[in-house]
Amino acid sequence: MEKLVVDASKPKWHINFKELWAYKDLFYILAYRDLRVRYAQTFLGLLWAFIQPLATLIIFTVVFGAVAEVGTDGIPYPLFAVCGMASWSYFSFVLNQSGNSIIGAQEMVKKIYFPRLVIPLSKALVGFVDFGIAMLFVVILMVYYGFIPSANIIYLPIFIILTIISALAVGIWLSALTIRYRDFQHVVPFLVQFGLYATPVGYQAKDVINRLPEWGSFIYYANPMAGVVEGFRWSLLGGDPPSIFAYFSFSIVIILFITGLLYFKRVEKVMADIV
């Protein structure tokens, strides 16, 4: 049995990663439970994981590819869009699930002790199902169009890590904020819907920043996923490298992640009382 030692000399913001590792079994159990519940008692089951991104891809292809005729620098639009969707699908899933994760597990939070951070972290593991399926679509479309990935693919692991950190950063913030302010339960669906169009998923970021003043570009890239999606697509398809503004977006990701962990740690002590 893991021994819990309360040390008053440690800073209040101290995050015990050793303790998190000790509860790794709970982390896996929660992730497995969420995965089973997600498609339980559905007629199509796991097929929904394929239908949803496919439907989004078709809509994007019709609206942005055929009607708006968004420029893709010669890349077939379905392939261009699905590369943006791969990164965004993971982020949006974790964002959706993390927001209400603590409230959804409130009975467990009230009754037993465990590092509460395990709950939003487990959502990040389940999100790899959506990410894996989106990447499968990427591979299928690359084969269909005879497209060879660019040499920039060596940077793909970096942008995958940034996608995970970005999703966790916003997810951890929302999971802690939703406990105190239940309004965020209504804000999260709006953020996901708005973010899909405020992020260069179905279009190129340069088409936006070329029409904005410099200060407007900074506001656009304050969206943590703007630079991540741009870099993710560049690592797979090549073309123009991420703009200088993308590095501002990467900085936002790191800042959100660190401050999210600190705020979560602060709220963790009273979660059982206010959840």
Total Cβ atoms within 10 A of residue 256: 18
Q: What is the pLDDT of residues 210-248, one digit of tens each?
A: 887 888 888 999 998 999 999 999 999 988 888 888 899
Q: Which DSSP letter does residue 112 get?
A: S
Total Cβ atoms within 10 A of residue 220: 20
Structure tokens at 41: 């008692």
Q: Do 203 and 64 touch, CB atoms closer than 8 A?
A: yes
**What is the spatial distance between Cα 203 and Cα 81, in angstroms, rounded to a whole number?**
8
Question: Contacts from 182-189 at CB under 8 Å and sequence distance 24+?
Answer: 184/99, 185/99, 185/100, 185/103, 188/95, 188/96, 188/99, 188/100, 189/96
Phi and psi at 99, nearest 5°, equal -55, -45
pLDDT of residue 185: 76
pLDDT at residue 9 is higher than 70: no
Q: What is the pLDDT of residues 137-164, one digit of tens each?
A: 999 999 999 988 888 999 999 999 999 9
Q: Which DSSP letter does residue 155 get?
A: G
Q: Do 273 and 267 touch, CB atoms closer than 8 A?
A: no
pLDDT at residue 47 is higher than 80: no
Give the residue among 170, 153, 143 at the shortest CA–CA distance from 261.
170
Question: Contacts from 104-109 at CB under 8 Å and sequence distance 24+?
Answer: 105/30, 106/275, 109/271, 109/272, 109/275
Q: What is the DSSP string of 45-109?
A: GGGHHHHHHHHHHHHHIIIIIIIS----TTS-HHHHHHHHHHHHHHHHHHHHHHHTHHHHTHHHH
pLDDT confidence of 30, banded at 50, 70, 90? confident
Q: Do 191 and 96 touch, CB atoms closer than 8 A?
A: no
pTM (predicted TM-score) = 0.86
**What is the spatial distance between Cα 90 and Cα 53, in angstroms, rounded to a whole number?**
11
